[in-house]
Amino acid sequence: MTMRRWPLAALLCCLVLPAWAGPPAGSPPPGLAPERMAAYARSHMVAAANPLAAAAGRTILQAGGSAVDAAIAVQMVLTLVEPQSSGIGGGAFLLHWSAAGRELRTYDGRETAPAAAGPNLFLGADGRPLRFMDAVVGGLSVGVPGAVRMLEAAHRAHGRLPWADLFQPAIALARDGFAISPRLAATLQDDAALRADPAAGPYFYQPDGSPKPAGTLLANPALAATLQAIATGGADALHTGPIAQDIVAAVAGAARPGSMTLADLVGYRPQVRDAVCVPYRLWRVCGMGPPSSGGVAIAQVLGMVERHDLTAAGPASPDAWHLLLEASRLAFADRDRYVADPDRVPLPPGLLDRRYLADRGGLIRTGESLGRATAGEPPGKRADFAPDRSLEIPATSHMVIVDRDGNAVSMTTTIEGPFGSKLMVRGFLLNNELTDFSFVPEADGRPVANRVEGGKRPRSSMSPTMVFDRDGRLVMALGSPGGARIIGYTLKALVAMLDWDLDPQRAVSLPNLLNRNGPTELEMTPGAGPLADGLRRLGHEVQPMTAPSGLQAIRLLPGGGLVGGADPRREGVAVGD
């Protein structure tokens, strides 16, 4: 196969926004990048977490590539320039819309536990759960990576350009170097475990132990060689042979070793699953099903609040937010008890039953908070599980892409916490996704649905989402990183666009407000005081939130064209032609 070389200049040129632009979108809320306006395009668009990654995807679209082709290019560049969040050592969920076939397909590239892992994986010798960061650092937390196998399967079904061509932007950047971004530089501060890794330490840190500052030109020849091997040999180059052997050796040789074997890597298979879709007012909202809890939780919230008029209240209304926050409490209570890997723990079918959601929504009191909610008893429940209280660290990345034929991708991709397990192999970091399992396998004599089991996929909150109109046409695609807060971030942007008619940029810029069945978490921007006071009067314990979302969204305009938004809290951009 002839390999095409993509010069770095070709990438950088694509950072310039197209000359054609639509009308101004209005200013975002106070305190959140007032200069940020929505991006407009006629033909195709990419919104991603880093300008170089978005540029790589745009280059692929300009060359006639499909949305999946562009997603592969974006992911490979993110592995290099945003290594704290995602990469080829992790996993992903991908929603794909085929405009010609009018088909929505979801791809599950979630990591799996090694075959030898068991329910007591994160219990110490005393039978108590390990401290979270003690479990994260080292080989014990590393799941079998799934992103590359999943992308290969999606490319086989939906790709246009040759697989190898899609790696060339990332290979060129890894070989020639990229400027460390301010966000990456900030994330490197005070990470002693990353600094101690024999490969990651010299790569990210200076001889005196200080992190390399923003603007430093950072080349990664080891990653360039790894990407070239995958470009030539496909996912097998990662899951078999020397790279796989080095992954297994790093996991086994860590201070807290894991049990991953070559057989685990060879045997990994992505899954194609049914989307979770629910009607909501004039639209049909679709998301990822288990092992993601995101699609189910968002569907439940929408089902509970649909009977209320959120439009009239508006985004500044404590009463409107109260309804959303209380519904979220109820959805999280169900999530923590019932949602896990569907191949091991089937989802109760009644969780999305309209009557069940109406009954759950009836628990919401319009003038007073419920406090901590308890899980419901959905029709079709087959087992009695204990609630799960596992943590999810707010790292991860999201991209949305629409190609010239109207095909679309919404993909959330992750290695879990910042820099994953802190183990670097051949230029990329290994995930710590197994810490998304419950550390405690049972409680009060009942098993936890999300307990560790060999070959099982840990529950996730990743929420790639698409919305369709009554005629089945794609209206928008969106999603966010952010650990368990992903559900609230995505819900905020979704309601802002559907109920409050905000454009994608204003929707993602709106202050974040969410509830995970505990305190109500509010991003305290300068104008947030009255909303906080109103929620307190309704009985909410309001807790200031500083963790940044990383929302990306694209809306398809009825008359043709695209409008996109990227979260001003991170470094993402929306670009197109």
Band of pLDDT at residue 25, cut at 50, 70 and 90: very low
Give pLDDT, residue 152: 98
Q: Which residues are CB-contacts of 466 (< 8 A; sequence separation ≥ 6)?
A: 95, 97, 104, 285, 286, 287, 408, 410, 474, 476, 477
Give pLDDT, residue 526: 85
Residue positions annotated with a catalytic role: 396
Q: Which of 10-19, 97-106, 371-380 has the lowest mean pLDDT?
A: 10-19
56-92 pLDDT, tens digit each:
999 999 999 999 999 999 999 999 999 999 999 999 9
Are 400 and 408 contacting, i.e. CB atoms less than 8 angstroms apart?
A: yes
Using alpha carbons, list the distances in angstroms from residue 115 to 143, 265, 429, 481, 493.
10, 10, 21, 28, 39
- In this predicted structure, the answer to whether residue 3 has a pLDDT above a threshold of 60 is no
Give pLDDT, residue 492: 98
Band of pLDDT at residue 4, cut at 50, 70 and 90: very low
Beta 542-545 vs 520-523: how paired, if at all?
parallel
Q: What are phi and psi of 554, to 5 degrees?
A: -135, 130
Domain boundaries, the chain: 8-177+219-272+390-576
DSSP letter at 434 equals: G
Going by the annotation, the residues of the binding site are 110, 436, 460-461, 483
Nearest C-alpha neighbor of 576 from the set 412, 400, 397, 410: 400
Mean pLDDT of the chain: 92
Give pLDDT, residue 35: 53
- In this predicted structure, the answer to whether residue 32 has a pLDDT above a threshold of 50 is no
Give pLDDT, residue 336: 95
Place of tokens 């009191």: 365
Going by the annotation, the residues of the binding site for L-glutamate are 110, 436, 460-461, 483
Q: Which residues are CB-contacts of 158 (< 8 A; sequence separation ≥ 6)?
A: 66, 67, 68, 96, 98, 407
- Mean pLDDT for the stretch of residues 198-213: 97
Report the share of the chain in percent with pLDDT over 70: 93
The end-to-end CA distance of the chain, in Å, is 29
Q: What are phi and psi of 317, to 5 degrees?
A: -85, 120
- Mean pLDDT for the stretch of residues 439-446: 92
- Mean pLDDT for the stretch of residues 341-352: 94
Q: Rounded CA gap, 253 and 280, in Å?
A: 50
- Mean pLDDT for the stretch of residues 223-244: 98
- In this predicted structure, the answer to whether residue 285 has a pLDDT above a threshold of 60 is yes
Tokens of 381: 């429940």
- In this predicted structure, the answer to whether residue 394 has a pLDDT above a threshold of 80 is no
Nearest C-alpha neighbor of 91 from the set 110, 78, 107, 77: 110
Give pLDDT, residue 382: 77
8-177+219-272+390-576 carries CATH number 3.40.50.2300: no
405-430 pLDDT, tens digit each:
999 999 999 999 899 999 999 999 99
Give pLDDT, residue 383: 73
Buried b (16+ CB within 10 A) or exposed e, 163-198: bbbbbbbbbbbbbebbebbebbbebbeebebbbebe
